[in-house]
Amino acid sequence: MARHEELFIAVITVLVCLVQESKADGNIPKPQITQTPVGSVIYRNEKITLNCSVPWNSLGLDYIWYKDATLFNSNQIYTIDSADPSRNGEYKCQVKRDNDTSELSDPLTLSVVGKDVK
């Protein structure tokens, strides 16, 4: 019994430390990319937007975007007016405020099929 309690307290302590550690690393939460329209199949010539957002604390952020690890310029919303398969790849974003930089978002894989939108 007592051993279980000790173990439980130790686990909680470690978890609390991890949370404090990750907070101390930066005040900017990890961003995520949402795609509009939602869905795994995008047709040629469709208009697509990718939105890099953080769940809180989004004031005054700068946005950094990568396609297949290559940096490109965009603000929070990246718009592709007319999709084609050359846009296919893995997109990630990152947010920055002053000298504080978030971790990278999870990748979003864009997959455009070579057919025109109906």
Ligand X SMILES: *[C@@H]1O[C@H](CO)[C@@H](O)[C@H](O)[C@H]1NC(C)=O
Taking the C-alpha atoms of residue 33 and residue 95, their distance in angstroms, rounded to an integer, is: 11
Q: Which residue has the tokens 């890099």?
A: 52
The verdict on 53 binding ligand X (CB under 6 A) reads: yes
Q: Which is nearer to ligand X, 1 or 56 (CB)?
A: 56
CB of 25 to ligand X, least distance (A): 15
Q: For the segment 97-116, give every residue that binds ligand X (CB under 6 A).
A: 98-99
The verdict on 35 binding ligand X (CB under 6 A) reads: no
Task: Determine contact, residues 34/20, Cβ cutoff 8 Å.
Answer: no
Task: Determine contact, residues 116/97, Cβ cutoff 8 Å.
Answer: no
Interacting residues with ligand X (CB under 6 A): 34, 51, 53, 77, 98-99
